A and B are shown apart, each in its own frame.
Chain A
Amino acid sequence: AQKVTQAQTEISVVEKEDVTLDCVYETRDTTYYLFWYKQPPSGELVFLIRRNSFDEQNEISGRYSWNFQKSTSSFNFTITASQVVDSAVYFCALSEANYGGSQGNLIFGKGTKLSVKP
């Protein structure tokens, strides 16, 4: 069965610290997609990144970076030099190619609430 685990419920850091949000997933499919979404205090869900199961290349986008490792079924997210505006709930999600066919059929983790203090 498919499952996404975000073991860290809440993390609190001081501005400029680096922080890593963990995500571990379970799936039987060989073709799947992994996502990170951000939910700021205003409540909307903002797409951050997608990775497909055949692409283990890590990605960096500004202060954000993602580490995808199939061997450990993990897709971790690091924020470098965190800022107050990074305070939000971050969700990791999984979409399987055989579950409805579209990438919006998402299984979400329970989220990690990140608080960045000035």
Chain B
Amino acid sequence: DTAVSQTPKYLVTQMGNDKSIKCEQNLGHDTMYWYKQDSKKFLKIMFSYNNKELIINETVPNRFSPKSPDKAHLNLHINSLELGDSAVYFCASSPTPGQRLSNTEAFFGQGTRLTVV
């Protein structure tokens, strides 16, 4: 039973298209995240959502829009895709300090490899 699942695992699309990556967690965590890993393996946080509210929004183009329909889901929509958007995108979740869960670290999904051609 996968804790954090992302779909699709691979996504190849043309420049200018709009695409979405879905993420779901079944851990009961209140906080979810999106991270981007570039071609040099550098990992950087993009967004952090707590109970469907945006907490952190790092310097990300507004073509990227996270949407959280409920606290178990955080989807990433990307408009007008550019070549530089090619990367691996990781979804993650973790408890907030108020949640009394034994493990407080972040759990990551398997990643979505986005290739823009």
Contact = CB atoms under 8 A, between A and B. Distances in A.
Interface in A74-101: 89, 91, 99-101
B110 A110 contact: no
Contact of B50 (A89, A101, A110): A101
A13 to B, nearest CB: 19
Contacts of A107: 45
Interface stretch (B11-19, B63-71, B75-83, B101-109): B101-109
A43 B108 CA distance: 11
B7 interface: no
Nearest to B111: A43
B48 to A, nearest CB: 5
Contact of A104 (B41, B88, B92): B92
A103 B106 contact: yes
Main secondary structure of the interface of A (DSSP, over half): loop
Contacts of B97: 101-102
Q: How big is the B interface, by class?
A: 20 to 34
A45 B48 contact: no
Interface of A: 35, 37, 39, 43-45, 47, 50, 89, 91, 99-108, 110-111, 113
B86 interface: no
B113 to A, nearest CB: 8
Interface string B38-53: 0011111100101000
A44 B107 contact: no
Nearest to A111: B41
A100 B56 CA distance: 7
